[in-house]
Amino acid sequence: MKIAVCVTGGRVEGPGEAANIRIYETTPSLEMIEEYENPALKATAARGVWMLRSALDRGASAIIVAEAGAPAFSFLKGKADLFFGNGMEVEGALERFMNGTLPRLDKPTHEGHNHHNIR
Protein backbone atom coordinates (compact mmCIF):
# COMPACT_ATOMS: atom_id res chain seq x y z
CA MET A 1 0.00 0.00 0.00
CA LYS A 2 1.22 3.50 -0.78
CA ILE A 3 0.67 6.46 1.55
CA ALA A 4 1.12 10.12 0.66
CA VAL A 5 2.02 12.67 3.34
CA CYS A 6 1.79 16.45 2.96
CA VAL A 7 4.98 17.82 4.55
CA THR A 8 6.49 21.17 5.50
CA GLY A 9 9.57 21.21 7.70
CA GLY A 10 9.05 17.64 8.91
CA ARG A 11 5.44 18.27 10.00
CA VAL A 12 2.14 17.20 8.45
CA GLU A 13 0.55 20.08 6.53
CA GLY A 14 -2.57 20.70 4.44
CA PRO A 15 -2.72 19.53 0.82
CA GLY A 16 -2.88 23.08 -0.56
CA GLU A 17 -0.08 24.45 1.62
CA ALA A 18 2.55 21.72 2.08
CA ALA A 19 5.96 22.37 0.59
CA ASN A 20 6.52 18.73 -0.38
CA ILE A 21 4.73 15.45 -0.78
CA ARG A 22 6.30 12.21 0.39
CA ILE A 23 5.18 8.84 -0.89
CA TYR A 24 5.75 5.80 1.32
CA GLU A 25 5.34 2.10 0.64
CA THR A 26 4.04 0.13 3.63
CA THR A 27 5.02 -3.40 2.59
CA PRO A 28 7.11 -5.29 3.35
CA SER A 29 8.10 -2.43 5.70
CA LEU A 30 7.57 1.33 5.78
CA GLU A 31 9.91 3.04 3.30
CA MET A 32 9.87 6.46 1.66
CA ILE A 33 10.05 5.91 -2.08
CA GLU A 34 9.62 9.46 -3.42
CA GLU A 35 9.54 13.10 -2.37
CA TYR A 36 8.51 15.91 -4.72
CA GLU A 37 7.44 19.54 -4.68
CA ASN A 38 3.74 20.02 -4.03
CA PRO A 39 2.06 20.92 -7.35
CA ALA A 40 -0.61 22.85 -5.38
CA LEU A 41 1.91 25.62 -4.79
CA LYS A 42 1.73 26.59 -8.46
CA ALA A 43 -2.02 26.06 -8.90
CA THR A 44 -4.34 29.05 -9.18
CA ALA A 45 -7.54 27.26 -8.11
CA ALA A 46 -8.51 24.08 -6.25
CA ARG A 47 -4.97 23.87 -4.89
CA GLY A 48 -5.53 20.89 -2.62
CA VAL A 49 -7.06 18.88 -5.44
CA TRP A 50 -3.85 19.30 -7.46
CA MET A 51 -1.90 17.73 -4.60
CA LEU A 52 -4.42 14.92 -4.17
CA ARG A 53 -4.37 14.15 -7.89
CA SER A 54 -0.57 13.93 -7.83
CA ALA A 55 -0.73 11.41 -4.97
CA LEU A 56 -3.32 9.28 -6.77
CA ASP A 57 -1.20 9.38 -9.93
CA ARG A 58 1.62 7.83 -7.88
CA GLY A 59 -0.61 5.04 -6.56
CA ALA A 60 -1.42 6.35 -3.07
CA SER A 61 -4.57 4.94 -1.49
CA ALA A 62 -4.16 6.78 1.82
CA ILE A 63 -3.20 10.43 2.33
CA ILE A 64 -2.17 12.02 5.62
CA VAL A 65 -3.10 15.69 5.88
CA ALA A 66 -3.42 18.44 8.50
CA GLU A 67 -6.71 19.63 7.05
CA ALA A 68 -9.13 18.99 4.21
CA GLY A 69 -12.07 20.88 2.79
CA ALA A 70 -15.18 19.57 1.08
CA PRO A 71 -13.56 19.54 -2.41
CA ALA A 72 -11.03 16.96 -1.18
CA PHE A 73 -13.79 14.57 -0.18
CA SER A 74 -15.66 15.04 -3.44
CA PHE A 75 -12.52 14.43 -5.46
CA LEU A 76 -11.30 11.41 -3.47
CA LYS A 77 -14.62 9.58 -3.09
CA GLY A 78 -13.99 5.91 -3.83
CA LYS A 79 -10.33 6.56 -4.69
CA ALA A 80 -8.40 7.07 -1.43
CA ASP A 81 -8.84 7.70 2.28
CA LEU A 82 -7.75 10.78 4.21
CA PHE A 83 -6.13 10.59 7.63
CA PHE A 84 -5.79 13.42 10.17
CA GLY A 85 -2.25 14.31 11.22
CA ASN A 86 -2.71 17.96 12.18
CA GLY A 87 0.10 19.24 14.42
CA MET A 88 2.09 16.01 14.13
CA GLU A 89 5.64 15.28 13.09
CA VAL A 90 5.63 13.07 9.99
CA GLU A 91 7.29 10.15 11.80
CA GLY A 92 4.67 10.19 14.56
CA ALA A 93 1.81 10.33 12.07
CA LEU A 94 3.26 7.42 10.11
CA GLU A 95 3.74 5.38 13.28
CA ARG A 96 0.12 5.98 14.28
CA PHE A 97 -1.04 5.12 10.74
CA MET A 98 0.90 1.87 10.78
CA ASN A 99 -0.50 0.82 14.16
CA GLY A 100 -4.05 1.82 13.22
CA THR A 101 -4.49 4.74 15.63
CA LEU A 102 -4.30 7.71 13.23
CA PRO A 103 -7.85 9.09 12.83
CA ARG A 104 -9.50 8.64 9.46
CA LEU A 105 -11.26 11.78 8.22
CA ASP A 106 -14.90 11.27 7.33
CA LYS A 107 -15.85 14.93 6.96
CA PRO A 108 -14.09 18.19 6.11
CA THR A 109 -11.96 19.75 8.84
CA HIS A 110 -13.13 23.16 7.71
CA GLU A 111 -15.95 24.73 5.82
CA GLY A 112 -16.05 28.46 5.33
CA HIS A 113 -13.92 29.95 8.09
CA ASN A 114 -14.24 27.24 10.77
CA HIS A 115 -10.82 25.66 10.35
CA HIS A 116 -9.67 22.48 12.04
CA ASN A 117 -12.85 21.41 13.79
CA ILE A 118 -11.87 17.74 14.03
CA ARG A 119 -10.69 16.56 17.44
What average pLDDT does the chain have? 92
Helices (H) and strands (E) in the chain, counts: 3, 6
Do the domain assignments include residue 104?
no
118: confidence class by pLDDT, cuts 50, 70, 90: very low
CATH assignment of the domain containing 35 = 3.30.420.130
Distance in angstroms (rounded) separating the CA atoms of residues 80 and 111: 21
Nearest to 88 by CA among 77, 75, 78, 101: 101
The domain tally of the chain equals 1
Do the domain assignments include residue 105?
no
Average of per-residue pLDDT across 97-119: 76
Report the percent of the chain where pLDDT is more than 70.
Answer: 92
What local confidence, expressed as pLDDT, does residue 45 receive? Answer: 87
Do the domain assignments include residue 81?
yes
What local confidence, expressed as pLDDT, does residue 115 receive? Answer: 45
Please write the tens of the pLDDT for every residue from 40-79: 999 988 899 999 999 999 999 999 999 999 999 999 999 9
Domain residues for the domain of 62 are 2-98
